[in-house]
Amino acid sequence: MLQVLQNLNNGETLVQEVPAPSASNSRLLINTSRTLISAGTEKMLVEFGQAGLIGKAKAQPEKVKQVIDKIRTDGLMPTLDAVFSKLGEPLPLGYCSAGIVTHVGNHLSGFEIGDRVVSNGSHSEIVSVPPLLAAKIPENVSDEQAAFTVLASIGLQGVRLIAPTLGETVVVYGLGLIGLVTVQLLRACGCRVVGIDINPQRLDLAATFGAEPIHGSECSDLPGRVCSMTNSRGADAVIITASAKSDSIVSSAAKMCRKRGRVVLVGVVGLNLNRADFYEKEISFQVSCSYGPGRYDQRYEQDGLDYPVGYVRWTEQRNFEAILLMLATGQLDFLPLISNRVGIEQAAQAYSIIQNDPSALGVILEYSGSPNPKQTIPVKQSSEIVPSRTVIAGIVGAGNFTRATLMPALKNLPMRRKYVVGRTNAAAIQHIAQKFNCENATTDFEHVLNDPELNLVFITTNHDSHARLICQSMQAGKHVFVEKPLALTLEELCEVASVAERHMELQLMVGFNRRFSPHIEKCKSLLSGRVEPLAMHMLVNAGEIPPDHWVHDPRVGGGRIIGEACHFIDLLVFLSGSKVKSVSAHRMGNSAAVRDDKMTITMELEDGSIGSINYFANGSKSFPKESLQVFSDGRILQIDNFRQTTGYGFRGFKKLKTSRQDKGHARQFAEIIDSVAKGQRLIPLDQLYNVTLASFAAVKAAQERSVVKLAKGFLGLETQ
């Protein structure tokens, strides 16, 4: 299928053939008929891409600080690699779409195949969207008008926030697409509307919708003009739909309001507010969030958890429905807003229009209605692909770990990378396949399972799919590497163990990469002749992840102890050469938004060694992320962020330094390829089970304030 993408490195707009999204139980598949290019938002994205590095830095100063912090902790070269890798990813454009439903997930209701719907899908011939981000189109509304629905909902949410009453005077500051839609919405509410812009054509169009126009550049005193139009009272409210860097727009909006007036920002303007502008008249100021309640809420948008209508009357989806109803009843008309119609094949031309033609407004992309539903796209092979009859791999998952860590490490290894698999983000998997010389990009995992020559599957998806994908892959006769964790629950772990024990000829590997770091290998060697058990302390400055991130959801991510701290449990198991016997843990107090990412874990190992892991997510990014101290036989080893290891009391060893942070990823993947080729198990299965159980035990111990023993010889936990 065709999709419109943007190269963030140079701002180039591309129309590219990418794999069609696969069907899902929780999503809709839609064949697109029309999409709308937003002359505001999308033009801004294109201009950001065309800016140089300095321009990008000026546009996003908060990102610059993040880069500086990363340089301090990870080093210059890894940081530059990460930045350029991110800029190299293609960005799907578009969020205003209309089309016909071709698949309805088994878990969904309210939609049927053949329904005409709107959605926030991208400029793509086929889109996969969650049901709460779609709405049915009434019979008497054309796809062309319906394509404006999502954009119109942005204006509608701004209107809802000012809560206009019949007869009020409302100023719309900025008459782009959203501003002109907002004018129509306010007129439908019975408001007197004043429209401000510097484009005469848009002022004329606003006047046809019932607004009283003011030319912004020809009026030297906008607040005074509005005041004179309202019998010296001032406007009841101002909705800012402009896009500009100036702080003067917000200041002017406040000045033109009556006492206790309202200002709502829908657009993007400078926000260095002057308190005096708001103080004396007690002006309220609010920033509107996109299409309405539910936006950016994972549980609403992705999990389908709708808000009760009795408590949240207007959600994203219900705003969509309101716009469509107003179109059906003739209260809105978007046809006058269409300036150009272009086929998707000429999308690059369409973006040139919105950048260079001041008269351009709503540009509609038209689709043939007969997309290529092919889910696997061959990618041109280069001479860098190493033919191999030994290791032929499929990579399942196209997230940050795959892009930044896995694929760079696999690129030069003696293997064939036959598939990159992702369910919905076709542009990402296509980009990964091209960048790292993979043979195919696909959204169909069945291709991996059913390919008889493929013998190794790398799994880097969200944590809740790990156990299922492991079992399916091994049952299909494939070796498996899973990033971590192995499983999220005891039931999942038992299922994985059952499958693995029935397929002992296959490798099952978990991405416990720190075992393979030169720093850990050196420590293991230095401790090989020890007499007494080890005392180990691991400090992890994990960094905060927002409370609503999927990793904190017990069903999806398992939380950060099961999902991430398992790395450090494995590290202590590896160094001691002994399995975990019992675990106790304490987490931070009840006032923390997330408690399981601020935890102290204490472990007793079977050989008498002890270990503590302080896993804290409330520290500073400028402090190193990981440090480890190991005490044994009157000696100490200290690892500082996997860049330097220092020995105290060791004959012939004082220090090991690496030029960059080395957590063992490259060595791990080389060992995996070698182990598959030679049939040698990389990590014993009982250690994989034990480490996973210990992570479960840590969470259980913290919740119950108890010591949890790991049952010996079978998969179980006992509370003491």
Same-domain status, 528 and 487 = no
82 domain-assigned: yes
How far is the C-alpha of 479 from the C-alpha of 456, rounded, in Å? 5
Any domain includes 61: yes
Residues 538 and 593 in one domain: yes
> Is residue 127 a part of any domain in this protein?
yes
Q: Are 705 and 564 contained in the same domain?
A: yes
Helix axes 685-704, 566-576, angle to 10 degrees: 120
Handedness of CA 223, 228, 229, 232 (dihedral sign): positive
For residues 315 and 270, membership in a common domain is answered with: no
Same domain for 11 and 119? yes
Domain check: are 587 and 640 in the same one? yes
Coil, helix or strand at residue 630: strand
Q: Which two tokens stand for residue 49?
A: 């891409």
From 264, 287, 310, the end of a domain falls on 287
Contacts of 302 (CB under 8 A, 6+ apart): 26, 130
Distances (CA, A) of 467 to 481, 490, 500: 12, 11, 11
- For residues 529 and 387, give the distance between their C-alpha atoms in angstroms, rounded to a whole number: 43
* Residue 493, phi then psi, degrees to nearest 5: -65, -40
- Among 366, 392, 418, where does a domain finish? 366
371, part of any domain: no
- Cis? peptide before 485, omega within 30° of 0: yes
Q: Are residues 142 and 158 in the same domain?
A: no
Q: How far apart are CA 547 and CA 345, in angstroms?
A: 41
Work out whether strand 97-104 and strand 28-37 pair parallel, antiparallel, or are unpaired: antiparallel
Rounded Cα–Cα distance for residues 324 and 117 (Å) = 10
| pLDDT at residue 548, as a whole number | 85
Residues 310 and 184 in one domain: no
Q: Select from 500, 426, 460, 420 the least CA-distant residue to 685.
A: 500
Residue with the two structure tokens 């002359």:
39
Q: Is 358 exposed, middle or buried (CB count within 10 Å of its CB: 0-12, 13-18, 19+)?
A: exposed
386 and 489 together in one domain: yes
pTM to 2 decimal places = 0.86
Q: Is the domain of 503 the same as that of 555? A: no
The verdict on residue 372 lying in a domain is no
| CATH value at residue 183 | 3.40.50.720
Structure tokens at 205: 């169009």
Which residue, of 511, 532, 558, is where some domain finishes?
511
- Which tokens go with 354? 């919105």
What separation, in Å, do the N-terminal and C-terminal C-alpha atoms of the chain show? Answer: 58
What is d(CA 254, CA 104) in angstroms, rounded to the nearest whole number? 47
Residues 87 and 121 in one domain: yes
Residues 519, 471 within the same domain: no
In Å, how far are 127, 267, 361, 422, 475 from 96, measured between CA atoms? 11, 17, 14, 23, 42
The stretches in the chain having pLDDT less than 50 are 56, 382-384, 388
- pLDDT value for 677: 84
Full domain range(s) for residue 120? 2-148+296-366
Contact between 365 and 344 under an 8 Å Cβ cutoff? The reply is yes
Strands 257-265 vs 284-287: parallel, antiparallel or unpaired: parallel
How many domains does the chain contain in total?
Answer: 4
Cα 500 to its chain centre, rounded Å, is: 32
* Whether 114 contacts 30, CB under 8 Å: no
| Distance (Å, whole) CA 295 – CA 283 | 26
Q: Closest Cα to residue 506, out of 528, 534, 474?
A: 474
Q: pLDDT value at position 383? A: 46
